[in-house]
Amino acid sequence: MNRLQIVHTTGYRYSEGAATSFNEVRMTPRTTREQFARFWRVEVSPQAWTHTYTDYWGTQVTAFEVDERHERLKVVATSTVEVDRQAHEGKRVTWEDLRAPQFTEDMVESLVFGGHTDPGPELTSIAKRVAKEAETPAEVVAPVIAAVREHVRYVKGVTRVQTRAFEAWEAGAGVCQDMVHLTVGALRSVGIPAQYVSGYVMPSRDPVVGEAVVGESHSWVQWWDGAWLAYDPANDVVPGNYHVEVGVGRDYSDVPPLKGVYAGGGESDMYVQVEMTQLA
């Protein structure tokens, strides 16, 4: 088991100031079968009215408004979480299980693809060819992830948060978000439910206890095989005790760490810093 502290600092600088702003923060680790959030706090500057709730997908949201003129918005989310991921196996669901009318109705939100998760015709064709030869849905996952990793190089700055999956495929480059969108879309294209997971990952696998290191906002995929199983396409690993889950949704638009609107002229510039510390 790992006990980790995460300090996620983010916000906006407004070139001409903001009269008011309305925002949502999703930066609090979830409590699941594999991790337990022992402590969390979200601090906002300028001081703001806040309201905390759990959204439809089970992600904790802190909503707030700043009702005064401000040149800069700063959010600091501090949390302590214990992570103890165990190896899980699916129940090896069959293609018939996935095609059952009641199942597809229950899982519709994890089956519909488009928008961010549209994989495009080439990757869709690859996924369908693999699925045609696979005896079970589980046998499709590894080849699809391999195709994504082989075709899409991890390169920052080529894509943006608004980039659709097939655009990253066409560019042959992207970041973890793009690889997850491609994987999610490809699996859904053959009827396998898949979800987008947002969170953090400690880049060092041998951190010094008590020493803060630069961490990363990160994302990975979950797919259904009688239970939700996870894989990190960008790092080519099953998420372990240095992965911290924050939110789950259909795609990135369901789980952005910070989003909002503001009243005022000029442009806004977002800044982000994540520090992670192994406590035990």
User: pLDDT value at position 203?
Assistant: 86
In a 3-state reduction of DSSP, which class is residue 68? coil
Mean pLDDT, rounded, of the chain: 94
Dist. CA 19–CA 263, nearest whole Å: 5
Contact 81, 279 (CB under 8 A): no
Q: How many CA atoms lie within 13 A of 111 on its CB side?
A: 12
Domains and CATH numbers, the chain: 2-85+256-278 (2.60.40.2250), 95-254 (3.10.620.30)
Per-residue pLDDT for 86 more than 90? no
Which ranges in 69-204 belong to alpha helices (H)? Answer: 95-99, 101-106, 120-133, 138-151, 165-171, 176-189
User: pLDDT value at position 52?
Assistant: 96
User: pLDDT value at position 36?
Assistant: 96
Mean pLDDT, rounded, for 55-81: 96
Structure tokens of 6? Answer: 């995460």
User: pLDDT value at position 255?
Assistant: 96
Sheet of 49-54: strands edge to edge?
A: 49-54, 60-66, 20-25, 258-263
Q: Which of 90-99, 146-155, 171-180 shows the lowest per-residue confidence on average (mean pLDDT)?
A: 90-99
User: pLDDT value at position 280?
Assistant: 76
Q: Which of 61-70, 87-96, 178-187 shows the lowest per-residue confidence on average (mean pLDDT)?
A: 87-96
